[in-house]
Amino acid sequence: MSTKIAAEMAALATQIEEHNHRYYPLAAPLVSDQEYDRLLARLQELEQAHPELRQPDSPTLRVGGAPTSQFPSHRHEHPMLSLDNSYSRQDLLDFDRRVREALPDEAVAYVAELKIDGVALSLSYEHSLLVRAVTRGDGVAGDEITANARTIRNIPLRLREPGIRAEVRGEVYMAAEDFAALNRQREQEEEALFANPRNATAGSLKLQDPRLVAGRRLRFSAYWLHQPESKAATQHEQLETLERWGLPVNPERACCASIDEVFAFYDRCEARRQDLPYDIDGVVVKVDSLDQQRRLGNTAKSPRSAIAYKFRAVQARTRLKDIALQVGRTGTVTPVALLDPVLLAGSTVQRATLHNEDEIQRRDLRKGDMVILEKGGDVIPKVVGVVLEERPAWAVPFVFPQHCPACQSSLVRDPEEVATRCENPACPAQLKRRLEHFAGRGALDIEGLGPAVVDQLVDRLLVRDVGDLYDLDLETLSGLERLAKKSAQNLLDGLERSLQRPFDRVLFGLGIRHVGATVALALARHFRDLDTLSRATAEQLEAVPEIGPTIARSVGAFFANPQNQPLLAKLRRAGLQLALPEEERVAPPNFFTGKTAVLTGTLMHYTREQAAAYVMQLGGRVAASVSKKTGFVVAGESAGSKLDKAHELGVLVLNEEEFVARLAEAGLVVVPDQL
């Protein structure tokens, strides 16, 4: 009996996957949706009655399983690099010239493919079965979302050829009609609408419940293959291999014998852009020969054999209703255009930055103007012009106010920058932004302290500076809107954990002008504690290699301001780390002492910030470029021009293993898994 049932289940699975293949990659369905649903329901019924007979590649996995609590991180076997972008024909001609100069006297052909505006995903197959799906993440490691990927109907759970071990990469996206249907559903349910299909796709892949992902009708398009035993010699042969295995590959592609043929393909695609059933933002151009790709190699972030040729920015016209002002954490007042809603490159735009007062005057922007918008890189909306013929008769030049919109203090024009600032440290708008910065991941990383909570803390006068955060209690926090007792306790726990963040992150969290994370680390390593730093003269500050006069003046002014002394006293009282641990204070002479390091390429086990911290902890310093004064270069994978420069100058080059060995020799044993 079980043999008969197993045979029926196998036959159903084969039928269903064949229908999936014909419906999605081939767009040639053989049965109605009702018939497909009947087959799937029968297979589910049999699997529920006989769970021991369910196969690991069963089509029912596409329905989605139980929710997960989190996505585990998975390190890519090969880094997922990003592509360089080009926005003009000259950029592409320059790319073609660089390729041909690197491959002298060789014929070069290209493959041009549509650049779908989606989310990158890596699929791993073992014995032709899908075993893992991982997002790009930071390019080195991403989130494993295998359960979610299995719900994407055109991703084969089993390849159509046996015994294959391979990694496939591609783009997950949402078709225009499915995006519209999703937003209609969300509107009916009074949920926030997605701005564009790409955002909807990214949000869908992050859902912890695969059953919800299954309802989003996501699609996948493959464009890259790594298979050690592959006999393919070209990119277009790899794409044909992917198709033969049953993976969806976009048919809109062309083999181009010259850069002129690439331009012709680009022009055809741009003309048809609005007619496609999915969003594209350009064309990807790749050297066709895989051997030439390997010899061209990579820079730190991108392959030298490929480039994204982006479409010209899409423009739209709309009415400028008003110009509002927003205040940043350092007091910079930025004008913002408030617009009649307009659809632009797949999303509805209602606001756009106007940068500063000079930008408004240069374009002579006025309330009531018909303005021209475009998206820089198809991402950030900006005002690029005014339709003067449609300017209302009542429109008058915009006069930048003299008082802060949040606290009414007098505004001051910065003589060194094109910026206007509110210099009132008690300004509530500045305080809100400072609190958000202080709680950010790069600073104190305080879980639960988001904008909604920050607004209430400031508006109710519960917090007047970041130091007051550490006087909050459960009763006070529980009284805030939409902050239940459990959430309030989570925030208190986050504040408690922040007491262990190292000195440099506290220093960064203070939000001193011009003091980013790298400068904060340099100051912490040099001065060792807050008291010593606060007494430093301008000359002493400028003696730190990374510090120039502008940063020195900013740091000196912060500690000289008497209004900041109560804040620093609160941080001391709360118990934050305002000094380096004793064991980090004096590093005995070692390989790193007094040497300048340059980091290049992708390190597999550490971030650049971690590696830089190790060097500085052991008495070295880190520079951005290679020179004759460079002591050594740490070269990770895909190292580029800095590595070439090091070889040219005869500078010592360490790979990652050699770097870690030198750290150990200096007495600093680091654990890769701490990343």
Residues classed as catalytic = 115
Q: Which residues contact 314 (CB under 8 A, 6 or more apart)?
A: 344, 345, 374, 375, 378
Quick one: DSSP state of residue 332?
B
Tokens of 203: 């949000």
Q: Are the beta carbons of 447 and 498 closer than 8 angstroms?
A: no
Reduce the DSSP state of residue 643 to 3 states and report it. Answer: helix
Q: Which residues contact 644 (CB under 8 A, 6 or more apart)?
A: none
DSSP secondary structure letters along 439-460: TSTTTT--TT--HHHHHHHHHT
- For residues 520 and 555, give the distance between their C-alpha atoms in angstroms, rounded to a whole number: 10
Tokens of 475: 């009763």
List Cα–Cα distances, 392 to 350, 368, 370, 473, 476, in angstroms.
20, 6, 9, 55, 51
DSSP secondary structure letters along 3-66: HHHHHHHHHHHHHHHHHHHHHTTS----S-HHHHHHHHHHHHHHHHH-GGG--TT-GGGGG--S
Q: In what order do the strands lie in the sheet with 280-287?
A: 85-86, 306-310, 280-287, 110-116, 253-256
Q: Are the beta carbons of 492 and 471 closer than 8 angstroms?
A: no
Residue 379 Cα to chain centre, angstroms: 13
- For residues 134 and 674, give the distance between their C-alpha atoms in angstroms, rounded to a whole number: 20
